[in-house]
Amino acid sequence: MADPTRITVLISGSGSNLQAIINACNTAALPNTKVVRVISDRKDAYGLKRAEAAEIPTKYHGVLPYKKKYPDTSENPQWQEARRAYDADLAQLVLADNPEIIVCAGFMRIVSTAFLDPLKSSNVPIINLHPSLHGDLVGANCIKMAWEEFQAGKRTKTGIMIHYVIAEVDMGEPIVQEEFGMDGLKTLGELEERVHMHEHGLIVRGTKIAIEALKKDGKA
């Protein structure tokens, strides 16, 4: 059998979607796959514990040292420098494991070309889970935004997608999307639960489709 497809997962939080990937590895849902590392930008991300429990190597890559090196002042805003330096190091960190695909599973940073370009040069695609349909809501807090629109009577449905990551936030080509109704929801927490329930299936499906596309292209 061919070597397993090497996956790196980037997280920031609970990691329930990471868990869905871990559970699916080497099943029919994600055949012959291996998570080679989980990287978090937050030290206390519970997803790091999930990875450790599954004996997957982890790395905390925090932004604080970069913010200290490029202090932000209103006269001289340097957050872009900090971001570029952080992203360039993240790319090297990721590539050191020779992954074939990167999955952002609740990774809450906007990535710049300093991250995207080295991965593109190495032919490693980056995919992201986003809790909205393509072109609908963008950025952080989309579940809350959908909830507020639902409460205001402005929407009855929302959705989620897996998409390729490009510099334009949440606008990369969708791989797979799922729309669902918001009927019967009484609280934001209930919407979050519904979103997560759909996400745990879709992230696995999207990862499988992206890996199949790689194999078709002869890259994995």
**Binding residues among 103-122 for ligand GAR as defined by CB under 6 A:** 105-106
Q: Residue 18: which of 53, 63, 66, 50 has the closest Cα?
A: 50
* Partners of residue 9 on adjacent β-strands: 38, 103
Shortest separation between residue 208's beta carbon and ligand GAR, angstroms: 17
Shortest separation between residue 65's beta carbon and ligand GAR, angstroms: 24
* Partners of residue 104 on adjacent β-strands: 10, 128
Q: Which of 130, 134, 196, 200 is an active site residue? A: 130
Shortest separation between residue 62's beta carbon and ligand GAR, angstroms: 17
* Partners of residue 25 on adjacent β-strands: 30
Per rule CB under 6 A, is residue 131 in the interface with ligand GAR?
Answer: yes
* Partners of residue 181 on adjacent β-strands: 157
Residue 144 to residue 14: CA distance in whole angstroms: 17
Q: Establish whether 130 is a catalytic residue.
A: yes
Which residue lies nearer to ligand GAR by CB, 82 or 195?
195
Which residue lies nearer to ligand GAR by CB, 7 or 220?
7
Shortest separation between residue 170's beta carbon and ligand GAR, angstroms: 6
171 Cβ neighbours under 8 A, 6+ residues apart: 134, 135, 138, 163
| CB-count burial class (<10 Å; 0-12, 13-18, 19+) for 193 | exposed
Shortest separation between residue 106's beta carbon and ligand GAR, angstroms: 3
**Binding residues among 151-210 for ligand GAR as defined by CB under 6 A:** 195, 199
Residue 196 to residue 94: CA distance in whole angstroms: 26
Angle value at C-alpha 200, between 154 and 63, nearest 5 degrees: 85
One character per residue 11-30, x = contact with ligand GAR (rule: CB under 6 A): x-xxxxxx------------
Tokens of 32: 């012959």
Per rule CB under 6 A, is residue 137 in the interface with ligand GAR?
Answer: no
| Cα distance between the two ends of the chain | 13
Which residue lies nearer to ligand GAR by CB, 20 or 94?
20
* Residue in the shown chain whose Cβ atom is closest to ligand GAR: 106
Active site residues: 130
Kindly list the residues in this chain that would bind ligand GAR in the complex (CB under 6 A): 11, 13-18, 47, 105-106, 129-131, 140, 142, 195, 199
